[in-house]
Chain A
Amino acid sequence: MERSGVNEPLVVEWKDGMAYRILIIDDEDDIRQIAALSLETVAGWDVVLANSGRQGIERASSEQPDAILLDVMMPEMDGPTTFLKLKSNPKTSHIPVLLLTAKVQGPDQRRFAGLGVAAILFKPFDPLTLAGQIAGVLGWRQSA
């Protein structure tokens, strides 16, 4: 499990000369904005945004991101349901998904971990270290 709180060195991540592309799915405007600013500014990644599970599934299919940061609590389609739909779609099943949640209780965490997500990241996150957390979980090379 990754948890924010410790300031780690800033990272800039690239793959084959191209910036990584991250899809952020969250219904909260401010969280989407902060996460996007964080990943774009600190790591130089490309960020694609979606404000619902349904929109996220569409964007994941069309944009083919390298990873998805997925909020747990969303209206209509929550994070776990969105995750299962992503995994059942051949166009998106290969994309690693990191859950982002403010739920800190053990039973919730165990339930989320049992889904098969790549990692669970916790809100509140530190915008300075979010990219490093994601890169660490996914084994992406730290180039700076």
Chain B
Amino acid sequence: MDNLPPANDPEKNSQQTLHAMLAKVWERSKSTVAGHVQVLQNARALAINSHLDEASRLRAVDSAHKLAGVLGTFGLPRGTDLARTAEEAFGNPDGMSRIEMERIGAALDELSRLVKTDDPSIPSKRAGASG
């Protein structure tokens, strides 16, 4: 592992090791995460045109749910909040109002930008450790 601290500080050592490993998992997961965001963008586009079918709506709920679960774990709590907003909106089988659709559009745009980060503040940073 790159840039590991000396072995005389086991706690910091394990934090930095974990941070480095999670950064690699994030790199591998980014395409999956982007795919889920795309599912949501597609569902919103269909909803705007009143063409959102039940299968696409449920797929959007599932993608939003997965994003809500994983983004905060990668140190992107704002991503979890945005994904929960989308999960709630697409979870309503009665559809969305125009205002809700605009709100979801803004949320998904922010989510798209957020998940492109190369450096989510994963655990060792949250814990105040260096690295």
- Contact status of A28 and B66, CB under 8 A, knowing A33-B25, A34-B25, A123-B73: yes
| Count, chain A residues at interface, CB 8 A | 24
Is A30's CB under 8 angstroms from B70's CB? yes
Query: Bound complex: CA of A10 vs CA of B12, how far in Å?
Result: 10
Is A124's CB under 8 angstroms from B73's CB? yes
Is A7's CB under 8 angstroms from B32's CB? no
Query: Bound complex: CA of A102 vs CA of B84, how far in Å?
Result: 9
Binds B, one of A16-24, A35-43, A47-55, A79-87: A35-43
Instruction: Mark each residue of chain A from 61 to 104: 1 if its CB lies under 8 Å from any CB of chain B, else 0.
Output: 00000000000010000000000000000000000000000111
Q: Which residues of A contact B113 (CB under 8 A)?
A: none
- Contact status of A127 and B72, CB under 8 A, knowing A7-B126, A29-B32, A73-B65: no
Residue B123 is within 8 A (CB to CB) of chain A in the complex: yes
Shortest C-beta distance, A72 to chain B (Å), equals 10
Query: Bound complex: CA of A80 vs CA of B128, how far in Å?
Result: 37
| Count, chain B residues at interface, CB 8 A | 31
Query: Bound complex: CA of A102 vs CA of B127, how far in Å?
Result: 22
Shortest C-beta distance, B27 to chain A (Å), equals 11
Q: Which residues of A contact B11 (CB under 8 A)?
A: 9-10
Shortest C-beta distance, A112 to chain B (Å), equals 15
Q: Which residues of A contact B127 (CB under 8 A)?
A: 7, 128
Residue B71 is within 8 A (CB to CB) of chain A in the complex: yes
Query: Bound complex: CA of A118 vs CA of B20, how far in Å?
Result: 31
Is A124's CB under 8 angstroms from B72's CB? yes
Shortest C-beta distance, A123 to chain B (Å), equals 4
Chain B interface residues (CB < 8 Å from chain A):
10-11, 14-15, 17-18, 21-22, 25, 28-29, 32, 62, 65-66, 68-74, 77, 80, 84, 122-124, 126-128
Chain A interface residues (CB < 8 Å from chain B):
7, 9-10, 28-31, 33-34, 37-38, 41-42, 73, 102-104, 123-128, 144
16 A-B pairs in the complex with CB atoms less than 8 angstroms apart: A7-B128, A9-B11, A10-B14, A30-B32, A31-B69, A34-B25, A34-B70, A34-B74, A37-B25, A42-B18, A73-B65, A123-B68, A123-B73, A124-B69, A124-B77, A126-B126
